[in-house]
Amino acid sequence: MSPAAPDPSQVAAQPVHSVGAVLGLPGVRRFWFALGLSSLGDWAGLLALTALANDLAGANYADRNFAIAGVLLVRVFPALLVGPLGGYLADLLDRRATLVVGSLLRAAVYATIPLAGSLTWLLVATVLVEMVNLVWLPAKDATVPNLVPRERLEAANRLVLATTYGAALPAALLFVGLSIVSEALNSTLGWFGGSQVTLVLCANSIAFAVSGLLFLGLRGVIPAGAAIAAEDRAGVLRGVLDGWSYVARSALVRSLVLGIVGAFAAGGVVIAMARVYVDDLGAGDPGYGVLFGAVFAGLGAGMWRGPRSLRGVTRRRLFGLALIAAGVVLVAISLVADMVLAALLSVLLGFAAGVAWVTGYTILGLEVENSFRGRTFGFITSLVRLVLALVLAVAPVVAGLIGPHRWRVNDDVSLTYGGTQLTFLLAGVLAVAVGVATFVQMNDRPGVSVTAELRQAWGAGGAYSPRGVFVALEGGEGVGKSTQARLLGEWLTADGFEVVLTREPGDTEVGAALRRIVLDPATGALSPRTEALLYAADKAEHVDRVVGPALDRGAVVVTDRYVDSTLAYQGAGRDLTVGEVEPLARWATGDLRPHLTVLLDLPAAEGLARVVGRDRIEAEPVEFHERVRSSFRALAVADPEHYLVVEGDAPPDEVAGRVRARVQPLLLQATRVAAT
């Protein structure tokens, strides 16, 4: 039984990046415990199966190596046969039932291995476990987005990936500890038939069984039934082909698949060649351990901290940039001949890969339809395993064919590079090419330079007032910003806060005159630059006369529109690029940023249908307003810690409740600052 979850109001008040808040959501803590046990079983199972294969193969050195290689090979083989079918079943079957039955089946299979005591059955059992995994893993990945709100999915993915791969260390400790206990019991009581891994396999079976029981208790938390609607179901082959077709016709998913597979291909080269590489550096087994430890340390740091370190960069751009960075670092590794530098660069390589991994999974969870999510994850899982198998087989051959090469710099200096380093170089160039292609395909801010986003990500110029609380309400026409501003103001006033409700354009004398110019239909067409300058003038007056003084007093400022509206309307809506408009708007406001921006999101046509008596901007065609909406959404995706996205067609009271939950921690922080 999992510990009691925190109070929901306390959970809602925590930042969106908080893993503790994710664990406080209904059922997530139980899911996490079940996943942890299952991951522990996976890693311990890998160690136990390879160790048992070594024992069962006999004393011949070659036979033992072939047995271990056989176990590793048959773990990949099922992906080639039933991988796509596994993703389809993950969408077709009830996902909670899939998680329960899959865990219990693995428990049963692992329990039979020590009873059979046969290398043949060990290989068959490995195939059976992997076949179950090919359904279970996509079902697990597809379930995570259903457990948490959209804004907390990145934190949930960090938790899930850290648990999945972080379980390797406790699994290794468990394997060592139980092996020692087994040996002691064997020598004293003759238990376990002389095999040190029998007890590990028994513990493994228990871990999977308990995991299944924990998943069983998630009724009502994991959505019941199939993800594929009854009217959309077809035959097995048709269902699999529909999943492939979805991947093929979605440019975003194609780019993600390309990036993920390319990253794993480059990583596979490192796995295949690392042992020979450290020998070339004269480091031997200790260097091998250091190199792998460095990669996994960087991987964990990248998954855990990377997206938050670069939170000003949109996820789509961040994914491509992380792939490019991984390729560049791999190229650098290929050029160094020092173990210390190689280890440091390996940390950076792992960090970039970790950022790409968690970002890619988050985008898939947010963007892929629930009915195709299992097939998409299953397709990626199968393709990754296939590519890894090919790379692990081909990379050593390529390195051997290249062989060592020496370049003479001058009469006294020459450089020698082995085939492994040149293979790393090729893999790095491939990763950079894949990263660039992915970045171009997924770039959702084409008018903004990467350096500008990175400066924003690293905090250059962005200013958050140390006093008061600044909240901006953004969105297209007719989404309900005025209503939510009023409801938020009433709630804050009732709690005793000084509240300043304001708007752009027009909440100063100068602004009122500017508002008449930019919104009156009689004004007619304006040059896009003229329009942008008029809005910038209103912002400068607004911040200097209204927003700044109110924040200095410690008030709560709630503004209907702010800088994001300029970026969306005058940038994406008009012929100007965001790169042209953003510096102007930031300069006009002194780069003062809201502590929280609430984006009320609604399809443009629905919002415009609510508007009566359209002004000059509202009279623009629907295509204009859809571009504006897309820009708002991209801005919110880039910095989820400072944004709340709420569906504009939700009941006003429900929207107001979500806004209050996000504003509450800001009020507590402002109160603490005022007290000091």
Contacts by residues 248-251 (CB-CB < 8 Å, ≥ 24 positions apart): 250/368, 251/441
If you average pLDDT over each of 243-252, 319-328, 556-565, which comes out highest? 556-565
The whole-number pLDDT of residue 209 equals 95
What kind of fold does domain 1-227 have according to CATH?
A: Growth Hormone; Chain: A; (1.20.1250)
559-584 per-residue burial string, b: 16 or more CB within 10 A, e: under 16: bbbbbbbbbbbbbbbbebebebbbeb
The tens digit of pLDDT for each residue in 508-549 reads 999 899 998 988 888 888 898 999 999 999 999 999 999 999
pLDDT at 460 over 50: no
pLDDT at 5 over 50: no
Neighbours of 669 (CB within 10 A): 12
Say which amino acid occupies 145: P
Average pLDDT over residues 491-499: 92
The whole-number pLDDT of residue 271 equals 67
pLDDT at 581 over 80: yes
The whole-number pLDDT of residue 1 equals 43
**Of residues 420, 426, 430, the one with CA closest to residue 337:** 420
The span from the CA of 517 to the CA of 94, in Å, is 58
Average pLDDT over residues 48-70: 70
Return the higher-pLDDT residue of 33 and 259: 33
Report CA torsion sign: 415, 421, 426, 428.
Answer: negative
Q: What is the DSSP string of 381-440?
A: HHHHHHHHHHHHHHHHHHHHHH--EEEE-SSS-EEEE-HHHHHHHHHHHHHHHHHHHHHH
Say which amino acid occupies 363: I
What kind of fold does domain 463-675 have according to CATH?
A: Rossmann fold (3.40.50)
For residue 521, whether the previous peptide bond is cis, meaning omega lies within 30 degrees of 0, is: no
The span from the CA of 166 to the CA of 296, in Å, is 9
> Which residues on neighbouring strands pair with residue 469, listed in sequence order?
556
Contact 438, 319 (CB under 8 A): yes
Return the higher-pLDDT residue of 7 and 223: 223
Contact 576, 646 (CB under 8 A): no
pLDDT band for position 458 (50/70/90)? low
Report CA torsion sign: 560, 564, 566, 570.
Answer: negative
pLDDT at 551 over 60: yes
**Of residues 604, 595, 594, 616, the one with CA closest to residue 648:** 604
pLDDT at 214 over 90: yes
The span from the CA of 652 to the CA of 485, in Å, is 11
Contact 391, 273 (CB under 8 A): no
The whole-number pLDDT of residue 16 equals 66
| Residue 482 structure tokens | 């005025």
Question: Mean pLDDT, the chain, as a whole number?
Answer: 80
Average pLDDT over residues 630-659: 86
Residues in the chain: 676
The whole-number pLDDT of residue 461 equals 46
CA angle 454/457/462 to nearest 5° reads: 115
The span from the CA of 419 to the CA of 396, in Å, is 9
Instruction: Look at phi and psi of residue 590 and say left if phi exceeds 0, alpha if psi is from -120 to 50, else beta.
Output: left
Tokens 């009271």 found at:
653
pLDDT at 3 over 50: no
The tens digit of pLDDT for each residue in 80-129 reads 666 667 777 877 888 899 999 999 999 999 999 888 878 889 888 888 98
CA angle 22/203/23 to nearest 5° reads: 5
pLDDT band for position 285 (50/70/90)? low
The tens digit of pLDDT for each residue in 395-442 reads 667 767 776 666 565 655 545 566 777 888 888 898 899 889 888 888
The span from the CA of 656 to the CA of 662, in Å, is 10
> Which residues on neighbouring strands pair with residue 500, listed in sequence order?
557
**Any alpha helices (H) in 443-575, and if so which ranges?**
450-457, 481-494, 509-519, 528-542, 548-552, 563-565
Tokens 């072939």 found at:
66
pTM of the predicted model as reported, rounded to 2 decimal places? 0.64
The answer for residues whose C-beta is within 8 angstroms of residue 517's C-beta and 6 or more apart is 523, 534
Average pLDDT over residues 370-388: 73
Average pLDDT over residues 631-648: 83
The whole-number pLDDT of residue 544 equals 94
Average pLDDT over residues 273-288: 70
Return the higher-pLDDT residue of 8 and 504: 504
Enter the CATH code of domain 235-444. 1.20.1250.20
pLDDT band for position 563 (50/70/90)? very high
Return the higher-pLDDT residue of 129 and 312: 129
Neighbours of 117 (CB within 10 A): 14
pLDDT at 287 over 80: no
Q: What percent of the chain has pLDDT over 90?
A: 22
| HEC sequence for 322-388 | HHHHHHHHHHHHHHCCCHHHHHHHHHHHHHHHHHHHHHHHHHHHHHCCHHHHHHHHHHHHHHHHHHH
Say which amino acid occupies 477: E
Residues of each domain in the chain carrying CATH 1.20.1250.20? 1-227, 235-444
Residue 27 carries which DSSP code?
T
The whole-number pLDDT of residue 360 equals 84
pLDDT at 154 over 90: no
> Which residues on neighbouring strands pair with residue 262, listed in sequence order?
none
The span from the CA of 184 to the CA of 165, in Å, is 30
Average pLDDT over residues 472-491: 93
Return the higher-pLDDT residue of 264 and 159: 159
Radius of gyration of the chain (CA): 28
The span from the CA of 401 to the CA of 57, in Å, is 32
